Structures are given as C-alpha cells and as structure tokens.
Amino acid sequence: MFIGTTEAATLLSITTQRIRVLLKQGRIQGAKKINGKTWVIPLYQGMPRISKGKRGPKPKWKHTRHCARNTVHINRQNLGINQKNKNTDLTEKLDLKPRPSRATF
C-alpha cells in the first residue's frame, strides 16, 4: 500500500515539512517521486520506514585539552659546580619535600 506525504505525517505524528526533509535526504525507504511532483511512500506493517540519521562531526571546542608537560627546573650554576666537584648526589641541591595537601575538612 502506498500513501502521500500528508498521510505519512499523520501516521508518524510529525509535520509534512519534516516528511519532505526526510524524503529529500533519502531517509524514507522505498519512497519515489511520480510525475516530478508527488511523493509515493510505501508502508511496511502499516508504517513508513525511516532510516536513522548520522549525528555529524564533533564540535571543535569539545576536544580535551592536553596538560602541560611536567618539567624540573634546575639552577645552571649548581650543575656547573657539581660537574667540577664530580658530585652526582642531587638530593642535597633539590628540595624533595612532599607538598602538604590542600584538602580541608
């Protein structure tokens, strides 16, 4: 059985303009245009079949931002002194104390 756009709109509870947009996108299965003007839509078990649409590209602003690289800043003078003294123990020069947590209860 075949129906027109207005009957399909009432069956699907959407507007006729939305039916025309779906027809233009080719999302209603088996629909054909006759006489260059009128759409004919087939029914499958009493309803027209509409294929699912694509969701489009992801927005650019929604990408996760990359964190900055972790860097260790070392005083260049201390490196020169350590090379002269052949000191490889850096724990004396670096402050390796753990930071206190900021959580307050």
Mean pLDDT by 10 residues, the chain (105 residues): 93 94 93 92 92 84 69 70 68 58 59
Domain annotation covers residue 38: yes
pTM value is 0.52
84 backbone dihedrals φ, ψ, rounded to 5°: -70, -45
Please give the residue range of the domain that contains residue 26: 16-51
Domain annotation covers residue 62: no
Count other C-beta atoms under 10 Å from residue 48's C-beta: 22
Question: Are 41 and 28 in contact, with CB atoms under 8 Å apart?
Answer: yes
Count of structural domains, the chain: 1
Question: Are 42 and 1 in contact, with CB atoms under 8 Å apart?
Answer: yes
Helix or strand or coil: residue 2? strand
Domain annotation covers residue 39: yes
Q: What is the pLDDT of residue 59?
A: 78
Domain annotation covers residue 31: yes
Q: What is the pLDDT of residue 43?
A: 93
Domain annotation covers residue 43: yes
Domain annotation covers residue 102: no
